[in-house]
Amino acid sequence: MTRFTGARTLTAMTSLSPQSSLSRIRVGSAPDSWGVWFPDDPQQVPWQRFLDEVAASGYEWIELGPYGYLPTDPAVLAEETAKRGLKVSAGTVFTGLHHGPDVWESTWAHVSDIAALTQAMGASHLVVIPSFWRDDKTGEVLEPDTLTVEQWRHLTQLTERLGREVRERYGLKIVMHPHADTHIDSEENVARFLDGTESSVVSLCLDTGHYAYCGGDSVKLIETYGERIGYLHLKQVDPEILAEVRANGIPFGPAVAKGVMCEPPAGVPALEPVLAAAQKLDVDLFAIVEQDMYPCEADRPLPIAQRTRAFLRSCGA
């Protein structure tokens, strides 16, 4: 694996005019920003309302979210998105590939259905989220929070296999999403994963909020591993709530319920330098807004989404 060594220094920018050209960044949103974590949950808004409101917020691109939340019939979903002027940027899958070859068949059964729908919707990316070591609702510890050498080998080798299979069968690129309460979380673990996988088949979905939650610096990651950045999730963390979460060992799900993921630009990291660094990579990137809010009141997401879209426009996106 070759680290990005561009000659130009990436400088933090405090503001960007629309004319300063974040021309390689395509902004969108996702069901997550409407408090949607599960295919079916009475605390979540109906999918029709999500589609109506994400379009009303000024977004053109969306992710599929948890498989089964939006219609899984491509014809139905294509009609519903088209009449609202929406297009799909990616699907999302959850994997536990560190468990080794025994989980491959069940993993592929899960991935193939989602990849087929993603392909049918004209998207080109599949966001891969590693399995949680503690439950995202209850906080129950499910397994150790660190991997053995053998488990790291399973994780990297099977992720490469997944990347090749998804590309060959569906024409999609996988982008691994570092996530709180998973084994790919901190700077150290993200670097270990990237250094252990082949850049031609595995890229990274850099989620700015999750990376900050786990102590990482998004701009530094882009500077160091620029060629591996294939996708962005834009998210911010409330530093005061995060300090409480760290001090008390609060699991991710309850932390979200406390409001640890906050509305931009109130939290960290600052998104302007991240967008500027990403633009300097000179590749086309999706930047999908995700503000974890599960559970939330049904009327809360729309005004936040509208304000966030306006903020991103002020940044040049």
4-31 pLDDT, tens digit per residue, is: 333 333 333 334 444 357 999 999 999 9
Give the DSSP letter string of 225-255: SGGGEEEEEE-EE-HHHHHHHHHHT--HHHH
Is residue 301 in some structural domain? yes
**Cβ contacts of 195 within 8 Å, gap of 6 or more:** 1
Beta carbons of 89 and 286 less than 8 angstroms apart: yes
Predicted structure pTM score: 0.92
- Residue 78 in any domain: the answer is yes
CA dist 201 and 97 (Å) reads 16
Percent share of the chain, pLDDT over 90: 91
> Judging by beta carbons within 10 Å of its beta carbon (0-12, 13-18, 19+), is residue 243 exposed, middle or buried?
exposed
Residues 161-169 have a mean pLDDT of: 98
Residue 2 forms part of a structural domain: no
H-helix or E-strand spanning residue 287: strand 285-289
State the pLDDT at residue 137. Answer: 80
Q: What's the maximum distance between 2 C-alpha atoms anywhere in the chain? A: 52
Do the domain assignments include residue 48? yes
- Give the CA angle between residues 2, 103, 171 to the nearest 5°: 50
Collapsing DSSP states into helix, strand and coil, what is residue 148? coil
* Residue whose C-alpha is closest to residue 115's, from 47, 64, 77: 64
What's the CATH code of the domain at 251?
Answer: 3.20.20.150
Average pLDDT over residues 93-101: 97
Domain count, the chain: 1
